[in-house]
Amino acid sequence: MKALVLFALLALGCSAASAMEKGDEAPNFKFEHSWNTLPGAKQLTDYRGKIVFLEIWKIH
């Protein structure tokens, strides 16, 4: 039974990345398009040295 639960957990773990939590490294990503960003910033790591507030938008 234990093995089965472990197997199920592993399967879940592989199915999707878990949500980013406190202490995790924020995954870097390259901007496909940008407005009003810092001069020359092309990806999230270009914001090192700042406190960054990231929010996901859904407009439509």
Residues 6 or more apart from 42 whose CB is under 8 A from it?
30, 31
Nearer to other proteins, 2 or 60 (CB): 60
The two tokens of residue 12 are 């879940």
14 binds other proteins (CB under 8 A): no
36 binds other proteins (CB under 8 A): yes
35 binds other proteins (CB under 8 A): yes
55 binds other proteins (CB under 8 A): yes
The two tokens of residue 47 are 């914001």
Nearer to other proteins, 3 or 36 (CB): 36
Among 32, 33, 30, 26, which Cα is nearest to 55's?
26
